[in-house]
A and B are shown apart, each in its own frame.
Chain A
């Protein structure tokens, strides 16, 4: 098992390397000159040259790539072309917001989905099951860039309770978390149901029931605990989609996270920041995915490693 883990983690490295390389080249070949964007139109040729030299933008792309790799490994991810702060500092300022949002969304999702899934499983094939799964499918189908504004319209405008945006009080987290969490909730509800059904069919459950354990304990103390494993790993696998979803949710709610940073720096051709963001996002995605994958394999002995 450790052998497997080690192999998997080592195999991440070439993937990350390939991703950073592709991103680097794409960014550099997108038309648009960061120097123009910084200095504006009236700048003297001499100043452009000076800035270009300082940013090492005059040299051939391959040479710049060399610098990039060197910086990557040494942990010096460069400074933002735009406002001169180290890329890592910018990322540090922003990733917290995204993590908070993602966690809140997951919390919301689990809070709704798990009870729903359990009920659906326990009352299999009844009207409750149908309703729950129907709603779940609907949940996956609602676009979150639509849901966001609709929720804002209803709760902030008409009903007027919740604050609308930004990150002041914790209450401003509610609407974005709900928006982002809905898709996840739907997926999770279905998984919980499927997983619970599998568990409830197992022999040890029949034994427990035969022994006279109360139905409530059967469900919660036995089946659910075991069903939890695959549920958790599915959550891990969905993190990728969650991260992608935050870009939109952050935009809709003006939530100052990584998605916002990424979009802004692409717009400004702030190469170092774009690279930094993409790398962090990809790394996070790959690592979490791999961990989830490993967990999945670990908890499901039926799957061969």
Chain B
């Protein structure tokens, strides 16, 4: 049973990734093409998900929107991973005051209310994808850092590491060739759940009006616009919502399945 969680997740994500990559080929219409006469029209032939408030094709917008979700997700998780692993390794390996300082800093970042920060940054910078990525990476790194640190703490006393130190292997080599490979598993699992989380938060930020720039077909922004017209065009919010759910579901399943695969004790 458990194996198919992983499989479903993997298939879902692959399909969505393909949609994102091949968007220009798959999308039946230009996602920005106005068609005011058909505004709010529900699903009909050629326009399977209906039209939005400007008459634009929702299906095409959702297809291009996959790029936004994945794009932001990958970038944020990527940046968080890099920073997080680096800091976690250093903190865990060095110990002492470096570690204490790291704990303090990560506590502060965790305690900081990210929505407030998002609002603040959006006021400084023009609404852009870059600012959204920036905001989301700021809190993201902590989970990975703490995880890596925890693993490093247990592993650093193991023989193969002590042996390496004794022969004089450089610190960085120890990080990359010896410590990291042993931690990849749990890190990947977290990355998977992390993607799901990032995509949710990005959508929420768009919903609060501090997300991506105007006209960007982010699924969250589409739901936001759809909610305005909920009473006359529910399809505008239902379809993007389903897709957010699918991508988040996909990553959650993937992570879940990965975790089961990596935990041989099995549940």
Contacts and interface: CB of A to CB of B under 8 A. Distances in A.
Interface of A: 11, 14-16, 18-19, 22-23, 26-27, 29-32, 125, 129-130, 137-138, 140-143, 145-146, 149-150, 152-153, 157, 194, 197, 244, 247-248, 251-252, 262-263, 266, 274, 278, 281-282, 285-286, 289
A137 B249 contact: yes
Contacts of A146: 223, 237, 240-241, 244
Contacts of B108: 15, 18-19, 22
Contact of A248 (B114, B204, B237): B204
Given A130-B1, A251-B208, A194 B116 contact: no
Contacts of A141: 196, 244-246, 248-249, 252
B207 interface: yes
A16 B111 contact: yes
Given A137-B249, A149-B230, A197 B267 contact: yes
Contact of B113 (A15, A138, A281): A281
A22 B196 CA distance: 28
Interface in B106-154: 107-108, 110-117, 119-120, 123-124
A16 B108 CA distance: 7
Given A137-B256, A140-B248, A22 B234 contact: no
Nearest to A266: B119
A18 B105 CA distance: 9
Given A31-B124, A248-B204, A282 B112 contact: yes
Given A150-B238, A150-B241, A266-B116, A143 B223 contact: yes
Contacts of A32: 123
Given A143-B223, A153-B230, A263-B119, 18 more contacts: A11-B104, A11-B107, A30-B123, A32-B123, A137-B252, A140-B248, A140-B252, A141-B244, A145-B204, A146-B241, A150-B237, A150-B241, A152-B230, A248-B207, A262-B116, A263-B208, A278-B113, A285-B113
A142 B196 CA distance: 11
Looking at A18, A19, A143, A289, the one whose CB has the most chain B CB atoms below 10 A away is A143
Interface in B224-240: 224, 227, 230-231, 234, 237-238, 240
A124 to B, nearest CB: 8
Contact of B111 (A150, A252, A263, A285): A285
A23 B116 contact: yes
B37 to A, nearest CB: 26
B203 interface: yes
A249 to B, nearest CB: 11
B50 interface: no
B49 interface: no
A263 B205 CA distance: 13
Nearest to B241: A146
A244 B110 CA distance: 12
Given A23-B116, A32-B123, A153-B230, A138 B245 contact: yes
B208 A143 contact: no
Nearest to A27: B120
A197 B120 CA distance: 45
Which of B5, B107, B230, B246 has most A Cβ within 10 Å?
B107
B77 interface: no
A143 B245 contact: yes
Nearest to B251: A141
Interface of B: 1, 5, 104, 107-108, 110-117, 119-120, 123-124, 196, 200, 203-204, 207-208, 220, 223-224, 227, 230-231, 234, 237-238, 240-241, 244-246, 248-249, 252-253, 256, 267
Contacts of A150: 237-238, 241
B112 A22 contact: yes
11 contacts: A15-B108, A15-B111, A22-B112, A30-B123, A141-B249, A143-B241, A146-B241, A197-B267, A244-B115, A274-B116, A285-B111
A29 B204 CA distance: 24
Nearest to A262: B116
A259 to B, nearest CB: 9
A129 B4 CA distance: 14
Contacts of A27: 120
A27 B117 CA distance: 9
A113 to B, nearest CB: 16
A299 B115 CA distance: 33
A98 B153 CA distance: 39
Nearest to B196: A141
Contacts of A244: 113-115
A247 B115 contact: yes
Contacts of A11: 104, 107
A15 B105 CA distance: 8
Given A143-B200, A145-B203, A15 B119 contact: no
B120 A26 contact: yes
Contacts of A149: 227, 230, 237
Contacts of A262: 115-116
A194 B200 contact: no
A170 to B, nearest CB: 25
A150 B111 CA distance: 31
Nearest to B103: A11
Given A137-B252, A141-B248, A149-B230, A15 B107 contact: yes
